[in-house]
Structure 1
Amino acid sequence: MVPPGVYMRNASCHFQMVLNEGFGSSPALRVCNSYWIRENPNLNSSQAVNQLLLGMASQISELEDSTVVEDLRDYWPGPGKFSRTDYVASSIQRGRDMGLPSYSQALQALGLMIPRNWSDLNPNVDPQVLEATAALYNQDLSRLELLPGGLLESHGDPGPLFSTIVLDQFVRLRDGDRYWFENSRNRLFSPEEIAEIRSTTLRDVLVAVTNVDPDTLQPNVFIWQNGAPCPQPQQLTTEDLPPCVPLTEIHYFEGSGPGFGITIVALCCLPLVSLLVSGVVAYFRGRERKKLQRKGKESVKKEAASDGVSAMEWPGPRERGYPVTIQLLPDRRLQVGPVLVHLQPGQIHVVDGRLSVLRTIQLRPPQQVNLILSSNHGRRALLLKIPKEYDLVLLFNSQEERGAFVQHLRGFCENWSLGLEVAHMSEYELFRKAVTKEQRERILEVFFRHLFAQVLDINQVDAGTLLLDSSQKVREALTCELSRAEFAESLGLKPQDMFVESMFSLADKDGNGYLSFREFLDVLVVFMKGSPEDKSRLMFTMYDLDGNGFLSKDEFFTMMRSFIEISNNCLTKTQLAEVVESMFRESGFQDKQELTWEDFHFMLRDHDSELRRTQLCVRGGGGGVGDIFKPNISSRVSFIARTSEERSCPQRVGLPASKAPELGGPGLKKRFGKKAGVPPPRLYTEALQEKMQRGFLAQKLQQYKRFVENYRRHIVCVAVFSAICAGLFVERAYYYAFASPPSGIAQTTFVGIILSRGTAASVSFM
């Protein structure tokens, strides 16, 4: 039915010659080269479209039979990969995919007569075509498909099957459409309008649309009869038309091989390159780290002696040991690298590789130092038992290195008149006999529990004891003495703080460098149960450094500086001097250079209630009396008498406020004890005064500027994201509008394709 070409003529019955790319002119448009092609130079105006319609009205179509022109059979526009396809074959395959019935089943369903054999199908068909078709279906007529059977039964017009199907389809469309113009029940059209619609033909529509002379069209444009105006010059054949563009296969990967290969190689090499880069970075960082370590070792070696031995320190049974190096230095120091043991008169300072003090051990004549050596397992272990301290256990590489360290230690003890007793036992017994830091902390816990029980008049049962074998262990804990470092740790302060030095020196009545149970108890009782006078007298005595019974301005300045030091505040020396002068002036002592205790207590007269609540914060509980004796306590306790209104630590050792101006407030109030965290940095800014904009537009502009300043990061991110989306949209839209090959899309959907492709690219990026 479809011809190989289509004529074009004007209103004066002049048939136009059409232009073909690469072929010149031809009498008609070739279907295979024009269908589904959006860009056609012969159809670039509305007048050309009118000529196409007039040409189709004058052209006679092919017969409705089994013969199909090559434009549909071999040169129909194909799918994406191939430019051409077989339209008839694809229609048959599509019918199979959709499950269409066979030719015989369709005839039976529509109530038509079923042919008995192949010759009854259509006597006018070429017998060779029937034989080839029968052989294709294994001589089984029931297997003949719907589309080939409908084409074979046609005699030039649609056969019984296609005619029945088309008629049934149109009847269903009419009966199923409530808005059909012939439906009088919907009252859409009057009988006169229905009659007018019935009398309207396609010829009337073409005349109204194209503005051509009605005499140039036959009454029925679908049928051409003899005597009709503008007959066609001849029936078109493929010989009169340009050949169809042959099949071309589109290789989407063509030209992308090098880029794809480079991408694959890059992805495969990415882990190796990353590993190589990380290895190079690690190498250079390791080299820099080794340089820094060598510099650190050189700086330490400048302080240490050249001779030394290596060892391993054993911290406890449940802890891993770590390697150390022991050296005897010219100024009586032992380096345990990365720990350095500094031997000074009466002291052993344990410092790390950065020369920071980790531990200080008091050694004063006639103290006895016990040294226990292992007698088995290579004789490498050594236990250094120091009175009133936890032990130091060292494992050497060999017995010779241990012997060298013992000789260094003997010389140190002889130099400072210290007794040294050497014993031998097995390594297992040596480890059992060693008092580790963890065991020392458990002993100190019993020490503090019974100390609190004595001060607060709490029963021993409530105070609790450790799960030890006998009361002898408890008595041993109560007879132990605190070193300066342990005392500072119990207060949460540093051993070198001035307050710790003053308090420890005051409490250490016998001057042996340790605090006994009774010495600590005497100080604690004053802070727990003492009157304001007792507390102020204790503070006065603590900072009366020369012991002359007077507190000079320099000593008062030292007291103030210690308060500021332990409270983690920062005042310059000038500011602190101004505060001291202000306090003396407010108390009327501006002419005095020394204060008696009465003067000092008078200076604190306005802070009697603060002195009553001023107490020490000592390790052992959660912050109050009721929490002191809970088991497994390793936090800190504040000995504060709680009132009914206040159930927390209101303050520690307080300082009277001053009315002099200072940083942070109108009065100076410092506390003993270390704060829980690092104090936040103080920022000092200068306010800039700007002229207020009174105009409405100026205010809106200022508001907009503030908005941009506050959300500049968000604005930049949104702008970059929007720019990428807009770029993708413009690129895809431009491609499908101008750069894409012709795809035959109608002009009505062309804009929609551009918008949909552009937005799809943007959405896929999102």
Structure 2
Amino acid sequence: FHFNSYYVDVREWLHHNHKRYVKVKIGPDQSVSTVNRKGETLRKINLHETSSLLVEVSQDSNKPMILLRPLRDHDLVLQFDNNGSRKKFLTKLESFLLNHKKTLEIIHTYRDVMLANAETKEKRQKRLEHFFREAYALTFGLKPGEKRKFEDVSNDVIMVMRTSLSKKEFAEALGMKPDSLFVKQMFSCVDKDHDGRISFQEFLDTVVLFTRGKTDSKLRIIFDMCDHDGNGVIDKNELTKMLRSLVDIAKTNSMSENEVMQLIEGMFASAGLEDKDELIYDDFKHMMSEYRGDLIAIGLDCKGAKQNFLDTSTNIARMTSFQINPYPDPEPMFILKKWNQFITYLEENRQPIVYLLIFFVTTIVLFLERFITYSHLSEHTDLRHVMGYGIAVTRGSAASLSFCYSLLLLTMCRNLMTKIRELPLHQYIPLDSHVQFHKIVALTGLFFTGNSV
């Protein structure tokens, strides 16, 4: 049957000091997405390649949470308003997965354990930074083809060496788009075991190859990248597509299709291969040797380290100057740390804060309106002579009290709260904070009661 999209408002847990309000969308395609208040997609988890989705469910918290652990992506941690909304979400998710012939695997765990083990985007980013630093640090200690021994490294480095890159992360490392031809072909060549991930050793082999490897080895991998169909030869069409990608990487002036084709025809003619429509590796090597100087500038900008395809000497110079900071980032100053916590608090509670401001401004305006009326208008002159300005304070407090008491009743109307939660309007009202708001209104009413007495 057809599964319509399902939306639910939750808080996404990013790290211990930050959550954000998002809307989680299930379907209609095989994906789970998070959307911000403007309707912009923040993240999309593709479920096409997975047969089962693992979900961890907290069992010891008054703030029910779940953790979605998608294949080849960082975790998604969500906090729900109550157990009922979480149960409904899990039911919808399971129905959605069954509709696409997939299964939902639920594991019950403790909240602290879940959050401690969550592979969030922030944790993933730090691990990837460590991944690249370690790869570049090892580059000058290994020869092409040599493997790093596990007994020579610490546990932290072993953890990094077990990390693998997705195509998207690999593209980000190159500063390119995941759907570009160059990234697809490069990823396919580097991913030697074809498991859809690039292991630390595969990435390290590539870095060592492009920085310290022989020119013949570099040309071989370029040839394999141009050979889209893997038949051992490359034709002019395949070479045209790859050359356009290389031109884009080199960030030279844009070339039209005809200009690229003319360039390739000229390369074939200069190498004496104008009669051939396809090239084997030896032909390609001969042709590239004719243009070695022109292709020196073409390289990869990988996390700050420029790697040329053909020029080994400049690679050594560049990679030697690539500094790796062995020290962790310094702890921020106490004042800065407190300021960051304050900003985070404002960000997480901006909606309740806005409503509190509206409440206090309204209360003060009501008080001042009555106070000014009984203090200055002529019809209350006799009262002022008898009671002084006390009558103005009393009347102002009474107006504010009436407003506070009406809100006290409104915040305890549970049936009304339930109805509002079912409407789209509820995302603009912080219903989860109604108890705290009730207490604040009560204290404000108590203040004006004492003021009137």
Same fold (TM over 0.5): yes
Structure 2: distance between partners of 1:362 and 1:328: 11
Counterpart in 2 of 1:588? 272
| Structure 1 counterpart SS, 2:23 | strand
One-letter amino acid matched to 1:605: S
**Deviation for aligned residue 1:411:** 4.2
Alignment partner for residue 230 of structure 2, among 533, 547, 552? 547
Structure 1: distance between partners of 2:267 and 2:114: 59
Per-residue CA shift, 1:255-289, capped at 9, x if unaligned? xxxxxxxxxxxxxxxxxxxxxxxxxxxxxxxxxxx
**Deviation for aligned residue 1:499:** 0.9
Structure 2: distance between partners of 1:616 and 1:312: 39
Per-residue CA shift, 1:599-650, capped at 9, x if unaligned? 211111134467788654321669532433223699xxxxxxxxxxxxxxxx
**Deviation for aligned residue 1:502:** 0.7
Seq. identity, %: 31
CA pair 388-476 structure 1, distance change in 2 beyond 3 A: farther
**Deviation for aligned residue 1:420:** 4.1
Counterpart in 2 of 1:628? 323
One-letter amino acid matched to 2:10: A
**Deviation for aligned residue 1:406:** 2.1
Which structure features the higher share of helix residues? 2
One-letter amino acid matched to 2:15: G
One-letter amino acid matched to 1:381: M
Q: Which is higher, the Rg of structure 1 or of structure 2?
A: 1
Structure 1: distance between partners of 2:328 and 2:295: 28
Counterpart in 2 of 1:578? 262
Mapping for residues 587-606 of structure 1, pairs under 5 Å: 587-606=271-290
Counterpart in 1 of 2:25? 327
Counterpart in 1 of 2:84? 400
Is the contact made by 1:361 and 1:389 (CA closer than 8 Å) also made in structure 2?
no
CA pair 431-489 structure 1, distance change in 2 beyond 3 A: same
**Deviation for aligned residue 1:545:** 0.7
Counterpart in 1 of 2:69? 385
Asked if residue 312 in structure 1 is aligned to residue 22 in structure 2, the reply is no
Counterpart in 1 of 2:111? 427
One-letter amino acid matched to 1:624: M
One-letter amino acid matched to 2:232: G
Structure 1: distance between partners of 2:76 and 2:283: 49
Is the contact made by 1:384 and 1:391 (CA closer than 8 Å) also made in structure 2?
yes
Structure 2: distance between partners of 1:586 and 1:440: 48
Mapping for residues 634-649 of structure 1, pairs under 5 Å: none
The runs of 5 or more residues in structure 1 that have no matched partner are 1-303, 340-351, 459-469, 635-766
For this pair of structures, how many residues does the alignment match? Answer: 306
Structure 1: distance between partners of 2:275 and 2:89: 60
Counterpart in 1 of 2:35? 337
One-letter amino acid matched to 2:118: A
Structure 1: distance between partners of 2:236 and 2:163: 38
CA pair 336-445 structure 1, distance change in 2 beyond 3 A: closer
**Deviation for aligned residue 1:484:** 0.9
Per mean C-alpha deviation after superposition, the further-off stretch among 501-510 and 407-416 is 407-416
One-letter amino acid matched to 1:386: P
**Deviation for aligned residue 1:428:** 3.3
Mapping for residues 11-50 of structure 1, pairs under 5 Å: none
**Deviation for aligned residue 1:418:** 5.5
Is the contact made by 1:374 and 1:425 (CA closer than 8 Å) also made in structure 2?
yes
Structure 2: distance between partners of 1:633 and 1:552: 50
Alignment partner for residue 507 of structure 1, among 190, 212, 220? 190
Counterpart in 1 of 2:301? 617
CA pair 373-353 structure 1, distance change in 2 beyond 3 A: same
CA pair 417-493 structure 1, distance change in 2 beyond 3 A: same
One-letter amino acid matched to 1:322: R
CA pair 406-570 structure 1, distance change in 2 beyond 3 A: farther
Structure 2: distance between partners of 1:607 and 1:419: 55
CA pair 377-409 structure 1, distance change in 2 beyond 3 A: same
Alpha-carbon RMSD across the aligned residues, in angstroms, is 3.4
| Structure 1 counterpart SS, 2:106 | strand
Asked if residue 485 in structure 1 is aligned to residue 171 in structure 2, the reply is no
Is the contact made by 2:10 and 2:78 (CA closer than 8 Å) also made in structure 1?
yes
Counterpart in 2 of 1:445? 129
One-letter amino acid matched to 1:508: D
Asked if residue 538 in structure 1 is aligned to residue 235 in structure 2, the reply is no
Which structure features the higher share of strand residues? 2
| Structure 2 counterpart SS, 1:321 | strand
